[in-house]
A and B are shown apart, each in its own frame.
Chain A
Amino acid sequence: DAGVIQSPRHEVTEMGQEVTLRCKPISGHNSLFWYRQTMMRGLELLIYFNNNVPIDDSGMPEDRFSAKMPNASFSTLKIQPSEPRDSAVYFCASRRTGTSNTGELFFGEGSRLTVL
């Protein structure tokens, strides 16, 4: 299995620009999570999808953030306009939920975003 694939691995952009982060979950996993990691706040859950439907977006900081999951194999997290305080590592994670659920969450390697 290829694991959770994220792109880009690194993104440097200027304040005000649009940023799009991409994620391909593990095939067969029906739950997808976006987390943001910073030194100050640790791992924060931004949004959770189940079967491509957003279930909980209460962690999305503000309207500048949006996430979509158009199909079971692809999700995006968009920041528009970006601000320096958005600088962080953004992780995508997936898991299989259901009767065979082991509970394990599989993380991608993250997208490190720097907003100048």
Chain B
Amino acid sequence: QQQVKQSPQSLIVQKGGISIINCAYENTAFDYFPWYQQFPGKGPALLIAIRPDVSEKKEGRFTISFNKSAKQFSLHIMDSQPGDSATYFCAASTGTYKYIFGTGTRLKVLA
């Protein structure tokens, strides 16, 4: 109930390609779905987030697609760049309560 399942575990993409990472959740009480980006030696930092009242949110090259009925959401990175190489975590939160994180996806963008 409290898990957020993330896939794939790792991803290699050519520069300019599209990176897609998927997450699924069970608890319908979750009402906030962020994606965090983590570089080696650093803490995770918020990249983009969505609430379940919209199906898509775009910020620059990053887009979240949200499917409430399927309880799934995904991150799309368009025109992927080597600087995007990092670990990406999806998460789900219930308002004022705790965050549950996915297991992470290690993305490598080849130059």
Question: Which residues of A come within 8 Å of B, CB atoms?
Answer: 4, 31, 33, 35, 41-43, 45, 48, 50, 55-56, 91, 93, 97-98, 101, 103-110
List 18 contacting pairs A-B, 8 Å CB cutoff, sorted by A.
A4-B43, A33-B99, A35-B101, A42-B102, A42-B104, A43-B44, A43-B104, A45-B99, A45-B100, A48-B97, A55-B97, A91-B44, A101-B96, A105-B34, A106-B46, A108-B43, A109-B43, A110-B43
Docked-complex contact A42 and B99, CB < 8 angstroms? no
> Which B residues are in CB contact (< 8 Å) with A55?
97
Docked-complex contact B43 and A97, CB < 8 angstroms? no
Cα–Cα distance between A91 and B41 once the two chains are bound (Å): 11
How many of B's residues come within 8 Å of A, CB to CB?
A: 23
Docked-complex contact A56 and B104, CB < 8 angstroms? no
Cα–Cα distance between A26 and B91 once the two chains are bound (Å): 21
Cα–Cα distance between A56 and B98 once the two chains are bound (Å): 9
Given contact pairs A42-B103, A43-B89, A103-B34, A31 touches B46 in the complex (Cβ within 8 A): no
Chain B residues 23 to 61 lying within 8 A of chain A, measured CB to CB, are: 32, 34, 36, 41-46, 49
Cα–Cα distance between A43 and B96 once the two chains are bound (Å): 19
Docked-complex contact B99 and A105, CB < 8 angstroms? yes
Residue interface bits B80-107, CB-to-A below 8 A is 1, else 0: 0000000001010101111111111000
Cα–Cα distance between A53 and B41 once the two chains are bound (Å): 30
Q: Report the minimal beta-carbon distance from B27 to chain A, rounded to whole angstroms.
A: 14
Cα–Cα distance between A18 and B17 once the two chains are bound (Å): 48
The 4 closest A-B pairs by CB, nearest first: A107-B43, A42-B103, A97-B96, A43-B101
What is the predominant secondary structure among interface residues of chain A facing chain B? strand
Which of B44, B49, B93, B104 is within 8 Å of A107, CB to CB? Answer: B44
Docked-complex contact B43 and A103, CB < 8 angstroms? no
> Which A residues are in CB contact (< 8 Å) with B102?
42
Docked-complex contact A104 and B34, CB < 8 angstroms? yes
> Which B residues are in CB contact (< 8 Å) with A35?
101
